[in-house]
């Protein structure tokens, strides 16, 4: 699946993911991340929410700290987000046009890394919010995260 994602074939990734589901095969973190990235690339909000619901159904919330797409559920259950899956959700929501959901997920993430910050900065850029992107970049530095080359390029693209 990662190979298809790498060559920009998100519809193939989604099809393969659905085949794995139908076959009741065990689905791992890398597969979930590929599928989340693909629904984000396609701007498929319903597919993203469906995939996220599936993660909850099979227990990934407990094992990988995945959070439900619905902000109310997140708050009620006091769930904590894993950096990798949280970042994938932030990226997906931003690409799907759901910036506020991306912000909500980002804010709920207990552990963030440079990729998490960069994904949220990119989300602001996608939605034409350069000021918020730059402010988040400064906040990232204030919180002790060191930006990488991708972060700098992302901020520049936002301007």
Per-residue pLDDT of the chain (159 residues; tens, 9 = 90+): 555 554 567 888 888 888 888 888 877 767 777 787 777 777 665 676 677 677 666 665 444 334 444 445 555 555 567 787 788 889 878 877 789 989 998 998 988 999 999 999 999 999 999 999 999 999 999 999 999 999 999 999 999
**CA distance linking residue 121 with residue 99, whole number of Å:** 11
Is the domain of 89 the same as that of 22?
yes
Question: What own/partner pairs with CB < 8 Å and gap ≥ 24 does 138-142 have?
Answer: 140/114
Is the domain of 147 the same as that of 86?
no
Is the domain of 90 the same as that of 33?
yes
Is the domain of 119 the same as that of 106?
no
DSSP 109: B
Contact 39, 47 (CB under 8 A): yes
**pTM check: above 0.85:** no
Output the CA angle 110-144-68, nearest 5 degrees: 20
Say whether 100 sits in a helix, a strand or coil.
Answer: helix
Domain that holds residue 116: 112-159
Is the domain of 90 the same as that of 155?
no
- Count: domains in the chain: 2
Is the domain of 47 the same as that of 100?
yes
Is the domain of 121 the same as that of 49?
no
Is the domain of 107 the same as that of 139?
no
Contact 116, 102 (CB under 8 A): no
- Give the domain-ending residue among 94, 111, 128: 111
Going from the C-alpha of 144 to that of each of 7, 27, 106, 120, 138, the distances in angstroms are: 34, 34, 17, 16, 10
- What are the DSSP E strand ranges found in 25-150? none
Is the domain of 118 the same as that of 135?
yes
């Amino acid at each position: 699946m990662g190979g298809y994602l790498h060559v920009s074939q998100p519809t193939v990734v989604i099809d393969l993911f659905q085949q794995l589901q139908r076959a009741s095969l065990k689905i791992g973190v890398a597969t979930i991340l590929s599928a989340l990235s693909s629904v984000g690339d396609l701007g498929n909000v319903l597919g993203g929410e469906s995939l996220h619901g599936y993660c909850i159904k099979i227990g990934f919330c407990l094992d990988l700290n995945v959070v439900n797409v619905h902000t109310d559920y997140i708050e009620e259950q006091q769930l904590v987000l894993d950096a990798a899956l949280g970042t994938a959700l932030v990226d997906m929501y931003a690409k799907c046009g759901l910036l506020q959901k991306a912000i909500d997920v980002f804010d709920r993430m207990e552990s963030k890394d440079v990729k998490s910050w960069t994904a949220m900065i990119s989300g602001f850029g996608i939605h034409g919010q350069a000021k918020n992107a730059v402010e988040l970049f400064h906040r990232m530095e204030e919180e002790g995260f060191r930006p990488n080359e991708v972060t700098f390029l992302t901020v520049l693209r936002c301007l």
